[in-house]
Every structure is written in C-alpha cells, then in structure tokens.
Homo-oligomer: A and B are copies of this chain.
C-alpha cells in the first residue's frame, strides 16, 4: 500500500468496480466518476495524484476530462485506460496530456505497476503502443502515400528531396550527375505540379511533410 491517491473515471460501472477491487489493496482510491462533468468536478475537489481515465465516454471522452483538469490542476497525472489501441486515440490522449496509455486487457498487477510508474513521473505504454508512440515522435508515422507526392515522377521526387535539404541547383546537379539545366526543368515541373512559386516554399512544403 502506497500513499498515492487514485481517482477512477469510466462510464462502465462494472469495470469501475473491478478496477477498484483490484487496486484498492495498494492505493487509496479517493473517488470515482462515470461521466465527464462529474469527473472534472470531483477531481478538482479531491485533487488525486493519479487519475485513471477511460478514453471513450459519452460527453467528450477522456480528452475532455484531461484537458479541463490540467488547466486548473496541471500537476495531476493521467493514465489513459482503453479498449482501443488505435493510433488516433493514443495521439489524442497524449496531446491532451495523458502520461501513459494502457489497454484494458492489462493484467491487474501490471496496472498497479503502471499506476506506480505514472505516479513517479514515468511514461507508461502498453508494449504494442510503445513502438507506435516512438515512431510518431520520430516523425516516421506510416508512409501515408501522399497523393501530391505521387503526381511527381521519381526523378522529380529525387530532386525535390535534395532541394528540400537546402542544396543549391549546382550541388543537386553534381550529386545526380546531370546538368544544372535539367535540375531547373525538374524544379519547374515540381513547382508547377505542387502550385508553389519558389524553391523556398518548396523547402517548407517538404519539411512540413517530413520529406527530408
């Protein structure tokens, strides 16, 4: 039993009860809530250290709870608990301010451990989500076949990448062993196809899409 105060938010009473049953041996559970508004009000009043919050709930979901509470109580730590492991949900919760994200299939002992780690300030993710989060952070989210990129020929994409890297036409020409004039042609085509008006905009366009 530690003294890390815990608060539970889930719209399924049965699940709420299960979690409470499993964790009350190890943490003082200061309160529970089964809808968004109730959760926000109670958390603000009770000021628990860690909040276990469900992702999908009527009335806005966990994101609403997290972002609202953090505005007044930024020190509160949130651990998202969900049946879903979809990237969209994970991203949304992390952006809102969750310190971790585990799926409901987690073993009770692991959940207790996750709560402890979140209370310590650590970041906790289910194994299958960890890789995703890091990939997203590294900017290597799914290749996501860009329709705008697809309309460029392979050679044009190649030139685009080098231009985006900050190389001058002359350097691109040397690198690809072609003449400056050819580079000009490719760049012109790219600018026209992407409806941009200068290599500077092109560089920014590329960096926005992480094509570097």
| A interface, CB within 8 angstroms of B | 94-99, 120-123, 125-128, 130-131, 133-134, 136-139, 163-168, 198-205, 207, 212
In the assembled complex, which residues on chain B have CB atoms less than 8 Å from the CB atom of A163? 200
Taken together, the copies of this chain in the complex come to 2
C-alpha gap A45/B98 in the complex (Å):
40
A121-B128, A123-B125 as given contacts; A137 in contact with B94, CB under 8 Å? yes
Establish whether residues B123 and A130, one from each chain, have CB atoms under 8 Å apart when the complex forms.
Answer: yes
Determine the residue in chain B with the shortest Cβ distance to A210.
B207
- Which of B96, B126, B136, B203 lies in contact with A203, CB distance below 8 A? B203
In the assembled complex, which residues on chain B have CB atoms less than 8 Å from the CB atom of A94? 134, 137-138
A-B contact pairs, 6 of them (CB 8 A): A94-B137, A121-B127, A123-B133, A166-B205, A168-B198, A203-B204
